[in-house]
Each structure stands twice: as C-alpha cells, then as structure tokens.
Amino acid sequence: MALHTAHLLLILMLGNKIELHIERLVYGGKGLGRHNNMVVFVPDVITGEKTLVEISARKKDYAEAELIQVLEPSPHRIAPACPIYHDCGGCQWMHIDYPFQVQSKREILAETFKRTLKMDDIAIQPLIPSSPLNYRQRVQFKVHPVRDKAPKAPGGRWQPVSNGVKHENSKYQIGYYKKETHQLVDVNECLLLRPLLNKALKKIEELLNSGKISQLKDLKELHMHCSSDERAMVFILYADEISKDELNNLFKEIKEAVSEATGIIFIDKYKKRIIAGSPFIEEELQGISFRISGDSFSQIDWVQNKILVKLALDYIGDAQYKNALDLFCGIGNFTLFIAKNADNVIGMDSGKTAIDDAKYNSKKNLISNISFMYNDVKYGMASLLAEGKRFDLVLIDPPRNGVGKDSVNAIVRLQPSKIIYISCNPVTLSRDIAHFKAKGYELKRLQAVDMFPQTYHIETVAELVK
C-alpha cells in the first residue's frame, strides 16, 4: 500500500503528463477524471473525452491539471465562436455545444443533491434553456492604462493580453481578467452581450483613446446596464474623482456617441455616488412596471427573468397567505407579485439603491400591502423575531454563498409553511436545503433555468414545505 501511494505521488508530481478519461463535468466548469483513484480536475474538457494532461497542482485529496491534447474528442466538442475564449475568464463552456451544456447542468444539479442530501429519488426537470449568445444586459469591465512594458515580477498587478485588434496608439485597455489571474484580456466584442452593449463598448473605447473624455483619465471599471428592448442604457463608472460639471459634460460627450444612453452613475474613490442624467432603466413583467437603477442588482437577462418569476409563482400557487417575507428582495422582482397572494408582505435587502427602487416600484404599481426593510438579512430577521413576527411564506434569493446554517435556523423560527429558495449555486443550495430538511422541511420540487449559457452557473428554484 505504501509503495502504491509513493508510486502515485511520483506519477502525479507537478509537470508530469498523464492520460486521463473525463468521467463528468463538475460545478466550477472543470472536468473530473481519476488516475489510480486520485481525482484530477481539468478545464476545457467534456464528459467522455480521453485527454493528455499536465499536472499543475497537488492537494491532499486531488490534483489539478492543464489540458495538453484531446486524444479522443467528444461529439459535443465545437470550435469556440469567440477568438479570445481560451484567454478570457468570462466563459468556461464555449467549446461545448449548447444542448449538451444544458444536459450537463442538469446532471451537475442531480449529482450535487444526491451527494449532499443522500437522495436518489430527486425529480429534476430538464433545464429551461436560453438564447446561447447575446443575452446579457449587464456587464462589468476592468479598465487599465496601456503600459510600455508588462510587469516582470509577480508583484506587478496586471499584464495585458491583447486579441491583436487594438490600434497602436491605444491608451487604455478594457476587458475581463484572464482565467484565475489578474491579467487583463483586451475585449473588443463579447458574444454574450446584447448588441447595444458591444456598440457602447466600442464607442467608450474610442472616446477614451482619443482623449475626448479626459475626465476619465483614472477610470478603473466600466459597468453598463441596458434595457431588454435596447432602447436605454446606464453607464456606471468607477474612478477617483470628478466634479458635477465635469460629469455633466462627460454625459453630453457619451450621449453624442451612444444615443441610447440615459445617464451615468459615477462612483468615486470614497464610494460617493454622483449622477448625470437619469440613472434608471425601465422594464415590464406581467403588467407590473419596474424602475431599475443602473447599479441595483437585477437578473442579467430580463427574458429569462420572466420565466424565473413565473416558475416561482407557480410554486407559490393560488393559496392565500397572511404574512409573507421576501429575503434579498432587490428591486422587488418577486415581492410585487407575492403581494397578490398575501395580506401583508415584507421585502428585505442590504442594497440601498435596490430598496429605493423597490419602494418606488410598489408605489407606482399601487401595491399598498408591502413594506421594505433596508437591512442586512441576518440582522433584519433578528429584529423580526424580537418583535414576535411570524410568516407562513418565505422567499429567499441570496447571493452565491447562500444563507448558511444560522440564517436557516432563523428562517425556521419564523415558522413558514412554505419556502421558495432561488439560488445561482447548487452547492450552497443543497447545503442549505439539507439544513432545512433537518428541521422537518420536505423538498417538494426543483427546477433549473439557464440564466448563464456558455458558463457553469446554474439558476435553480426549489420548493420546501412543512
């Protein structure tokens, strides 16, 4: 046994090359293979492929490797449509045909729940697919000044990676970070973005490099958010400082270049928010109108968001509830619809602009049985419990890290008979549902919606009852 272990360690030393059969794809986007029972994770592969890989890292229970060659390719392997796919960190699965991406996400969801909940009988419906490209209405780019030389030492913050299309006189590069690094990958067009966002990216890049918008000489991040009809968009700019007059002049320059621009939100080095124009876009869903601040959280694809909301409402059903609670409510994406099924509703979120939007949206739509709390969910629930509040319906839509055991316990103490849990991370979702099951809740239904084609991310709606 000791000789076998020593032999395995020798084979899996850094830099060694091995042949590896890929058993399946896992959450995170990599493929899983085994070499003498040691798990090895590899990016850029597909289930069923035979590969040649090079060991790049060794951990206690597994190894990581880089793909050297696909020896026996999957029939689902395709040529990535994006010329910078292998450098850019934005996508992980553009080398896989879209139907198999959808199938793989369902398999990852099933395997995650089976492993975490020890359940073999979870009925998971096929994922609801999306448009594979041009679906994103929001994007976040990093911006760096062009340097004559890239940093030689690891202490340097970044190193630009160009796709070869830049003008030789470029002063700024705009893009995403390279996979698992802080190297900037220069992006001229992102195939996941709506056409308006790509048009705006080119225009901003031209303005920056022409020197016409010198107010942004210290620009660090460029965020953009457009409406689903692509008739309006907001720019969110992160830089050190700007005066109100300078920002107004900047908005005029940008408006001339991008006629759909409705406003700018400028975030300075002190996190102060300065506005020119209107910082909002407008959307509609099932007869309800939404005002969304450019920097409020909302789903990246309003078309799929409509499906997500309908699915959650189907799980809520036609029952009438006395008190309902929407945790991580954002702009009121679900809250405004829950109000139809409840006498009283409370929406809670730690985002100030999102809560302001939610209050505006409920008032504009003449919905009077909702109140909103601007608070961290953990402390907000503690306050509700201290007041003796109880809720028969709770909806949760947390960030990727989920809610955790303490918040699960707090939700249970609120005594809901039904919980709707919306998640973008099956690992934390299954962990939290395991805590709910330990408290007597039953997982009744589970359905995933593909909000993020070309990536490993999975949006899921779960119904828990007691």
Q: Give the active site residues.
A: 424
**Residue entry with tokens 């593909």:** 450
> Rounded distance, CA 103 to CA 47, Å?
11
Let me know: does 323 contact 301? Beta carbons within 8 Å.
no
In 3D space, the residue among 252, 234, 341, 239 whose CA is nearest the CA of residue 294 turns out to be 234
> Rounded distance, CA 254 to CA 258, Å?
6
> Rounded distance, CA 77 to CA 437, Å?
39
**111: phi then psi, degrees, rounded to nearest 5:** -65, -40
Let me know: does 140 contact 223? Beta carbons within 8 Å.
yes
> Rounded distance, CA 212 to CA 207, Å?
5
Pairing of strands 38-42, 31-35: antiparallel
Let me know: does 334 contact 307? Beta carbons within 8 Å.
no
> Rounded distance, CA 42 to CA 33, Å?
8
How many Cβ atoms from other residues are within 10 Å of residue 455's Cβ? 17
Pairing of strands 62-72, 38-42: parallel
In 3D space, the residue among 186, 109, 105, 140 whose CA is nearest the CA of residue 453 turns out to be 105
Residue type for position 413: R
Q: What is the CA radius of gyration of the chain?
A: 24
> Rounded distance, CA 132 to CA 87, Å?
20
How many Cβ atoms from other residues are within 10 Å of residue 10's Cβ? 9
**76: phi then psi, degrees, rounded to nearest 5:** -90, 0
In 3D space, the residue among 101, 100, 122, 118 whose CA is nearest the CA of residue 110 turns out to be 122
